[in-house]
Amino acid sequence: MNNYMLVLISMILSAAATPLVKKLAVKIKAIDVPRDERRIHKKPIPRLGGLAIYISFIITIFLKEGMVKNSELGIIIGATIIVIGGILDDIKELKPKTKLIFQIAAAIILIINGVKIDILTNPFGGVDGMVDISWFGIPLTLLWVVGITNAINLIDGLDGLAAGVALISTITIFVVAVLNSRIEAALLTAILSGAILGFLPYNFNPASIFMGDTGAQLLGFLLASISIEGAIKSAAAFAISVPILAIGLPIYDTLFAMIRRKVNGKPISQGDRGHLHHRLLDLGLTQRQAVIVMYFISAILGGIAIIAMQISTVNSYFLMSSVIIIIVFIAWKAGFFKHK
């Protein structure tokens, strides 16, 4: 079997599993009930949809040719830990510290199985343009995995938003991995793309099921871990700017939220209506229109990430810096750092 036929299998499994997961969510009362103004939907909707993505992703990995590698095993075990924490959170909301424990545990499993950041490109030159960061790779990997896991979770505010943005980021990392001959990472992203595609029709507006924390954290974790294998770990010298751009939209939206809450004297973990999707809705866009705008922004950043991979390290960092400056300027002018 051609390994990339597994994309179709993953998509079919996800599409078939989602209605079953929806019934399970209702049975165990994993229901999203709108209780505050931050909630866009007006009626209770089952969550836990990420379980369907998880099931199809894991099953399809075991169907691929060859033995499961240590790095893949680390991703599977780590994803399982994330899903367990997500299910508990979808049934009964966990405290932020408890969620963080699950995320750190999953990241540690990755590191134990060799999925960690060992080498970074040096924009100022050096031997082969690379810098061996040794033990510092452990906290950096923890920060990357936990940060991306939460970033995807924080943008999960509209029907189909987090799933669609994650899909675009996954496709971007797939292209980067293929161009960089990272076959394992390319296969994992292809399988993940299929799993998201099978779920997305149920989740797009009007959604019949939400991913919940189970799905949003799972997608964030998988994007973070696979990007380490497919974009950061490489024999070719290209910058960490590539994955930062590839998963750019949730990263910048999360950073702006942290800055906004800090400036306004609010706890970083406290939600608000200052996220980009809230701003777009306030401008009069419908849910679908707001989601499509954010898909478009994510796709642009993905395209820039692919360009960044194919140019020199110095130019790659310069490109990322220019993009960040432009985004920060637009965010400042649009009032993203003000209380909302």
Name residue 261's amino acid.
R
The reported pLDDT for the residue numbered 235 is 37
Q: Where are the domains of the chain?
A: 3-238
Does pTM top 0.75 for this prediction?
yes
CB 249 within 8 A of CB 297: yes
Task: Residue 107: name the closest of 82, 73, 135 by CA.
Answer: 82
Q: Residue 3 and residue 187: Cα distance in Å, rounded?
A: 7
The reported pLDDT for the residue numbered 181 is 80
Question: pLDDT (tens digit, 0 to 9) for every residue of the chain, 340 residues total?
Answer: 566 689 999 999 999 999 999 999 999 988 887 765 555 666 889 989 999 999 999 999 998 877 888 889 999 999 999 999 999 999 988 888 999 999 999 999 999 998 888 776 665 555 455 667 778 889 989 999 999 999 898 888 888 999 999 999 999 989 888 888 888 888 999 999 999 999 999 999 888 999 999 999 999 999 999 988 765 554 333 456 677 888 888 888 888 878 877 777 776 666 666 678 778 888 888 889 999 999 999 999 999 988 888 877 777 778 888 888 988 888 787 776 666 5
User: Residue 315: enclosing H or E segment and its boundaries?
Assistant: helix 313-333
The reported pLDDT for the residue numbered 266 is 74
DSSP-H helix ranges across 64-182: 70-91, 96-112, 137-154, 161-179
